[in-house]
Amino acid sequence: MTTAREHTETGNAAFQASEYEAALEAYEEANEYYDEVETLYGQFFGELAADPDRCDVCGCMLDDDLVPWEIEIDSEGSLQVCPSCAQFGPDGTLPAPDEVRVERRYVEEDIESIRSGDVGLSWASNNPISSNEADTQSTGSGRDTRQMLIQLVGVVQQVGRVPTAAELDTDTDFGCLEYEDEFGGIEEALREAGFDV
């Protein structure tokens, strides 16, 4: 999972820099690792045991000494597992299978977008905000404009177009009204971030 996520982050950085070949290569690497993780998880999370006294993952008997945990694996079901297998839960050390599927789906969507040439807005600025400028870029409003722009770029990458007000409200820490107040509108904020709008 760690390697899959590292390749995904590399792909995201390349995608943001409009280096689509490098992004595609990193996303494909990430997808291979996600495939390995899902194959491994398939061995653990196969058919659920019909016996309520057994762990759904390893099949060991559950009793007073082995109190079962319940792990939601998707919207349709959950697992009753022993403490050893609980490492896959939301509080465990390994992500739940549904979390892996969601992460992989995003990577696959990015691969498809790059292959089809549907990469949304183009990154026009040869000079995005540098870290030196960003350290000092805070306005009298008390907002961190650099963070606002970073989150805006993230939403654009996610949706592949100019985001709606609702998407800004739900997917950023700031919301549409703050973008309008700080930059004069969403399109102005996108221009400030270096997009051709």
Task: List the chain domain ranges.
Answer: 2-116, 131-192
Residue 132 pLDDT level (bands cut at 50, 70, 90) = very low
Please check whether residue 173 is in contact with residue 149, taking contact to mean a CB–CB distance below 8 angstroms.
Answer: no
SS3 128: coil
Which are the contacts of 7, defined by CB distance < 8 A and separation ≥ 6? 26, 27, 29, 30, 33
Phi, psi dihedral angles at 90 (to 5 degrees): -60, -25
Q: What is the pLDDT of residues 72-120, one digit of tens each?
A: 666 666 777 777 666 655 555 667 677 788 888 888 888 888 888 776 5
Which residues is 78 bridged to in the sheet?
A: 72
Query: Please, is 3 exposed, middle or buried when counting C-beta atoms within 10 Å of its C-beta (0-12, 13-18, 19+)?
Result: middle
Q: What is the pLDDT of residues 1-36, one digit of tens each?
A: 889 989 999 988 888 777 889 999 999 999 999 888
Cα gap 105→34, rounded to integer Å: 10
